[in-house]
Structure 1
Amino acid sequence: MTDAAAQGAHRARYRRILSFAAREFLAIWWFELVLPRIGLSRVSERTRAGRMQRFARRFHALAIALGGLMIKVGQFMSSRLDVLPPEITKELEGLQDEVPAVPFADIRVVAEDELGVPLERAYAWFDENPVAAASLGQAHRARLSDLDAADTGLENVVVKVQRPGIDAIVATDLAALRRVARWLTRVRIVADRVDAPGLVEEFAQTSLEEIDYLHEAASAERFRENFAEDPRVDTPEIVWERSTRRVLTLSDVTAIKINDTDALRTAGIDPSEVADVFAEVMFDQVFTHSFVHADPHPGNIFVTPVPASAAGERGFRLTFIDFGMMAEVPDSLRDGLRTLLIAIAGRDSRGLVKAAQEIGVLLPSADTAELERALTALFARFGGMGFAELSTVDPREFRDFADEFGDMVRSLPLQLPENMLLLIRAVSLTSGMCSSLDPSFNVWDAAEPYAGRLLRDESGNLIQDLAKQAMQNAAVTWRLPKRIDDIITRVDEGSVTFDTSRLERRLDRLEGIARRIASGVLFAALLIGGALLVPSAPPLGITLVCVSVLPLLHSLFAGVGRRGPR
């Protein structure tokens, strides 16, 4: 494709995204703003769920047709449970699984341009059929050349190659999304709930990191170092000699997919034990290493059978791949998560609200009374239940509670920070995966050991703080008798004086201000009264208007030239 043709294609893509957004905004404007103002709010409310579903289906079709970043936008929207209704988030789940593969000839061109040599020289063998296709790139199996294999100690590898022209596609899509975000700031019903430009910038940062394979490689190395001494976890090794910003070569670590329970049992591995280890490892990422794999779906986690002695008395280890989406946990967020986990373990609704405010999810102005009531009801009804127990609950009860709770949460002034969003994504995927491996899995049981450890840490910190405060109080108490004796001595000697001149001057100024305010009020009364009387009693009205000038002059000029030192 020539440069002119590529530019034309990008302009058409940009216009298609904007025209889609414009049509949807027009529908929102008509149903959510116009109809309620002319007394047809019931029509708006009655059709809302269906309209949201139809919007999600239209966006789903647009994302599949355009590919590129639109797939990521759909995934991003499907996880925004804090600001989007379930009719949208449900429809957009699973978009990644529908991405078509790029023809191998196009992949070859990208790989050879990046590596600077033909594929036949870079690799001894390269599979033309992709292992996986994603929105930004796809993966192929390969085998290193004899020279590279001797240098790295590896032979079989997986090569990730970016889709052709993805940089320009991402730039076009982000430009369109920023334009749409500016439109949203002018829609009050949206602007009051969502910082659209902020969301787009958060999304842009994550997306730009994902198309930089060197950034992903560095994240993989950091994750590997975090678990270097942990027999439960493994990661692929990076072949730096065959990796660039658009091509990433790493050791082939494919094994049993974590959700393939039949294969696990055939290998003599208990799926329920896998669920327990997986939950432990994910909690360790959050609370020990502060660096979390934010996309732990079944395609990114393998279970590798190993001798029991090599896995810490277990016959397997978990192998993580794809480190393009990682979540940092800063100290402030980690402290809030500590409070959150302790509150969840203790079924403490007020503590949970406090944690949400500490993390920054809830604005200080939020009315939390209804939220505390809803959380109390949630804990009372479903707290402590595992998946097996929850599956026995009447679905209608679940649906009614979810609708009420979801509507209430979306009415609050809240918005999840990007890192928090990625963490919630990781936790939700972890919980779902563990429940599929073990129907009796209870996320509360998995969290409670960490909550207990955090409580012990908090107790230790509290004791340290109390000891420090006690030392400070002791020091003040030790110095207090001498300071009191010094003051009494100075009073006896008559050397203690009190300067009230500044206080007197300020009282004078306040008195003057009060008089000027009274003059202003009198001026307004005379002026308005005179204006009202002019039509019916012209002489009296004109007199009052003229007299009103006197209090006006006093209000404006009283005290001028008399201001002394402060």
Structure 2
Amino acid sequence: MSSVRPDRAGTQGAGSTRARYRRILRFAGWNLAVTWWYELFLPRIGLQNVAERTRSKRMRRFAQRFHGLAVELGGLMIKVGQFMSSRLDVLPPEITTELEGLQDEVPPVPFAAIRALAEAELGIPLGRAFAQVDETPVAAASLGQAHRARLAPTDAADTGLDGVVIKVQRPGIGAIVDVDLAALRKVGGWLSRVRLVSDRVDMPALVEEFAHTSLEEIDYLHEAENAERFAEQFAGDARVAVPEVVWERTTRRVLTLEDVTAIKITDTASLEAAGIDPAQVAPVFASVMFDQLFTNGFFHADPHPGNIFVTPVAPSAPGAIAAEHPWKLTFIDFGMMGEVPATTRSGLRKLLIAAASRDGRGLVDAMRDVGVLLPTAETTELEKAMTHLFARFGGMGFAELREVDPREFRDFAAQFGDVVRSLPFQLPENFLLIIRAMSLTSGVCSALDPQFNLWDSVEPYAAQLLRDERGNVVQDIAKQAVEIAGIALRLPKRVDALLDRVEDGTVEVRSPRLEQRVAALDRTARRLISAVLFGALLIAGAVLRAGDAVFGTVLMAVSVLPLLHALFSGWRRR
């Protein structure tokens, strides 16, 4: 996907798009610099206490500033804020609490602009397309806006529906998305130059994956197809409901769906008023998401609270989950969907089974299968670390983990931190949406029940997966037998080829570990030279300053350059 320059996002409003682009970059650049200063530089020079003492205030200030920026700019900035607000399990409350309002407070577009765009797309006046349209939006999202309506009598007779929701794109959203993606590509380029980041993830590739998903999200024909595919996936499943698509009134920028508005999944007060226990909703929601990720392979990648309703159902109705669960989960907004390839899904299943059984070695093997660890990684110490982690913290929910003495976490980090940091972890390209979906799932479950323990849902699900895996053991053995037979047939020819290369002297022997050590020694030597040069310039400047203040000051100022090289030359990718 080619990069979009902000000044080409549209001929009209080019100045405003350039200003938007620069504003996003200024915000990102400033906060990256602040994070670098407090979280990397100050601890490096022995001032870690300063960073820890100011962290809570800095987090709150960052969240407040980002909140204001996202509400004002809209677009993909809202998506970023929604993701952060859902990370109740990872991000501090200073951030999640401040950003949680972004789910609902996107300012609406005036109805006149919505009407004009919808009529241009449908080719007829709204008064002919629908019997009635409510000008007050039922929801204003970052990329579109929804209004309740009633179908015209003919369409109502054909579809069997009456009440619908019309989802219309925000005017000019295509240009806004192009600008936001251009800014994100620039920020991704900055981060790719930081070795701490580049060793773990290919940021440009990750941004391109997000770009692909975002561009699909503003194609409502694609979303309508996703909705029907999702409905087929859960056909006959009493836990899940999906709105029906009205294709006669759907285009690329206008989507008409059955009105399925119900209780927002995190509205605990309304759930309790309807006789629904939020603590019972959490495990069902987690189980539905597990099915999508680990079994079906086609999943809702944006399950934030605004996209999921809890719909009460009469206990005797066919749609009731059970007498004690007279409700179902209704999913909406299928613009951001993900697919898990069969090979990755198999690795994720192994990952879940290993986590549920507290198997440190199995967890590391599964991480290698899904591509989180490079195949050549030496993982003996990591296996020990995972085994220790399971022994102490395994089975704890997020609420329980919050009660653990922080010194225990610090002790674990001190014991195994170097091991974890030294391993070649990476984030596979297709993991962005998987991580997003699981993060949002965790956040929603924690909001429904602060005492929710994800292990209570993981363990029975993993047990079922394990029974399924054992049921396929005969197929696995047969497959491995075929692979071994193929290797045996190819082995003589490969041995002959190797012997020919040995005789010709063309066999090259490489030792990656030795090369890494030599490279490390070379970097150390360069940094040592810079440190000596810094000391020489600083002392010379201090001595000369008494007689020649200007020249002495210049030498002392210049000494900062070799100091910076000595401190940070190992951070950039080589």
1:400 is displaced (CA, Å) by 5.0
Residue in structure 2 matched with residue 169 of structure 1 by the alignment? 176
1:86 is displaced (CA, Å) by 6.1
1:281-292 pair list within 5 angstroms: 281-292=288-299
Cα separation, partners in 2 of 1:471 and 1:372, compared to 1, 3 Å: closer
Identity rate, percent: 63
Cα separation, partners in 2 of 1:509 and 1:251, compared to 1, 3 Å: closer
Give the 3-state SS of the residue equivalent to 2:310 in structure 1: strand
**1:393 and 2:403 correspond:** yes
1:449-464 pair list within 5 angstroms: 449-464=460-475
The range that moved more, 350-359 or 379-388, is 379-388
1:4-19 pair list within 5 angstroms: 5-19=12-26
Cα separation, partners in 2 of 1:358 and 1:57, compared to 1, 3 Å: farther
Indicate which of 129, 147, 163 corresponds to 1:156: 163
Cα separation, partners in 2 of 1:101 and 1:399, compared to 1, 3 Å: farther
Cα separation, partners in 2 of 1:30 and 1:113, compared to 1, 3 Å: same
Q: Deviations over 1:437-478 (max 9, x none)?
A: 45664432322333223222332333344467779999xxxx
Cα separation, partners in 2 of 1:112 and 1:271, compared to 1, 3 Å: same
Give the letter aligned to residue 403 of structure 2. Answer: V
For the 8 Å contact 2:202–2:427, the answer to whether it is kept is: no
**1:139 and 2:143 correspond:** no
1:70-149 pair list within 5 angstroms: 70-75=77-82, 90=96, 93-94=99-100, 95-149=102-156
The range that moved more, 312-321 or 56-65, is 56-65
- Give ranges in structure 2 of 5+ residues lacking alignment: 1-9, 486-495, 508-574
Q: Deviations over 1:313-345 (max 9, x none)?
A: 442222111112222111111111111111012
The range that moved more, 44-53 or 347-356, is 44-53
For the 8 Å contact 2:82–2:304, the answer to whether it is kept is: no
Residue in structure 2 matched with residue 61 of structure 1 by the alignment? 68
Give the 3-state SS of the residue equivalent to 2:138 in structure 1: strand
For the 8 Å contact 2:169–2:218, the answer to whether it is kept is: yes
Give the letter aligned to residue 218 of structure 1. Answer: E
**1:241 and 2:248 correspond:** yes
Give the letter aligned to residue 191 of structure 1. Answer: S
Give the 3-state SS of the residue equivalent to 1:250 in structure 2: strand
Q: Distance in 1 between matches of 2:296 and 2:39?
A: 45
Give the 3-state SS of the residue equivalent to 1:149 in structure 2: helix
Residue in structure 1 matched with residue 346 of structure 2 by the alignment? 335
Give the letter aligned to residue 450 of structure 1. Answer: Y
**1:178 and 2:185 correspond:** yes
For the 8 Å contact 2:86–2:439, the answer to whether it is kept is: no
Indicate which of 360, 367, 371 corresponds to 1:360: 371
Residue in structure 2 matched with residue 212 of structure 1 by the alignment? 219
For the 8 Å contact 1:96–1:135, the answer to whether it is kept is: no
1:276 is displaced (CA, Å) by 3.7
Q: Which TM-score applies when normalising by structure 2?
A: 0.71
Cα separation, partners in 2 of 1:465 and 1:161, compared to 1, 3 Å: closer
Residue in structure 1 matched with residue 45 of structure 2 by the alignment? 41
1:213 is displaced (CA, Å) by 1.2
Q: Distance in 1 between matches of 2:187 and 2:466?
A: 45
Give the 3-state SS of the residue equivalent to 2:403 in structure 1: coil
1:5 is displaced (CA, Å) by 4.7
**1:201 and 2:208 correspond:** yes
**1:308 and 2:316 correspond:** yes
The range that moved more, 162-171 or 44-53, is 44-53
For the 8 Å contact 1:79–1:89, the answer to whether it is kept is: no
1:230 is displaced (CA, Å) by 1.7
1:250 is displaced (CA, Å) by 0.2
Give the 3-state SS of the residue equivalent to 1:159 in structure 2: strand
Residue in structure 2 matched with residue 416 of structure 1 by the alignment? 427
Cα separation, partners in 2 of 1:467 and 1:406, compared to 1, 3 Å: closer
Q: Distance in 2 between matches of 1:401 and 1:261?
A: 38
Q: Deviations over 1:518-546 (max 9, x none)?
A: xxxxxxxxxxxxxxxxxxxxxxxxxxxxx
Q: Deviations over 1:193-224 (max 9, x none)?
A: 44221121111011111111111111100010
**1:297 and 2:304 correspond:** yes
RMSD, matched Cα: 4.2
For the 8 Å contact 2:224–2:255, the answer to whether it is kept is: yes
1:251 is displaced (CA, Å) by 0.4
Give the letter aligned to residue 168 of structure 1. Answer: A
Q: Which TM-score applies when normalising by structure 1?
A: 0.72
The range that moved more, 126-135 or 331-340, is 126-135
Residue in structure 1 matched with residue 521 of structure 2 by the alignment? none
1:12 is displaced (CA, Å) by 1.9
Cα separation, partners in 2 of 1:229 and 1:87, compared to 1, 3 Å: closer
For the 8 Å contact 2:103–2:306, the answer to whether it is kept is: no
Residue in structure 2 matched with residue 556 of structure 1 by the alignment? none
Q: Deviations over 1:89-135 (max 9, x none)?
A: 75884344442222222222222222222222222211122212211
Give the 3-state SS of the residue equivalent to 1:302 in structure 2: strand
Residue in structure 2 matched with residue 258 of structure 1 by the alignment? 265
1:537-552 pair list within 5 angstroms: none
Q: Distance in 2 between matches of 1:472 and 1:403?
A: 41
1:528-543 pair list within 5 angstroms: none
For the 8 Å contact 1:74–1:92, the answer to whether it is kept is: no
Q: Distance in 2 between matches of 1:113 and 1:308?
A: 45
Q: Distance in 2 between matches of 1:397 and 1:30?
A: 25
Q: Distance in 1 between matches of 2:149 and 2:357?
A: 51
Q: Deviations over 1:489-525 (max 9, x none)?
A: xxxxxxxxxx9xx98x949999xxxxxxxxxxxxxxx
Residue in structure 2 matched with residue 537 of structure 1 by the alignment? none
1:248 is displaced (CA, Å) by 1.0
Q: Distance in 2 between matches of 1:40 and 1:312?
A: 56
Cα separation, partners in 2 of 1:183 and 1:507, compared to 1, 3 Å: closer
**1:348 and 2:359 correspond:** yes
Which has the bigger relative contact order, CA under 8 A and spacing at least 6?
2
Q: Distance in 1 between matches of 2:398 and 2:26?
A: 44
1:471-510 pair list within 5 angstroms: 506=503
- Give ranges in structure 1 of 5+ residues lacking alignment: 475-498, 511-566
Q: Distance in 1 between matches of 2:412 and 2:135?
A: 46
Give the letter aligned to residue 209 of structure 1. Answer: E
Q: Distance in 2 between matches of 1:469 and 1:367?
A: 25
Give the letter aligned to residue 222 of structure 1. Answer: R
Give the letter aligned to residue 145 of structure 2. Answer: Q
Q: Deviations over 1:216-270 (max 9, x none)?
A: 1111000101111222221100111111111111000112333344444444444
Give the letter aligned to residue 150 of structure 1. Answer: A
Residue in structure 1 matched with residue 332 of structure 2 by the alignment? 321
1:32 is displaced (CA, Å) by 8.1
Number of aligned positions between the proteins: 480
Cα separation, partners in 2 of 1:125 and 1:442, compared to 1, 3 Å: same
Give the 3-state SS of the residue equivalent to 1:42 in structure 2: coil
Give the 3-state SS of the residue equivalent to 2:13 in structure 1: helix
1:158 is displaced (CA, Å) by 1.0
Cα separation, partners in 2 of 1:404 and 1:221, compared to 1, 3 Å: farther
Cα separation, partners in 2 of 1:378 and 1:90, compared to 1, 3 Å: farther
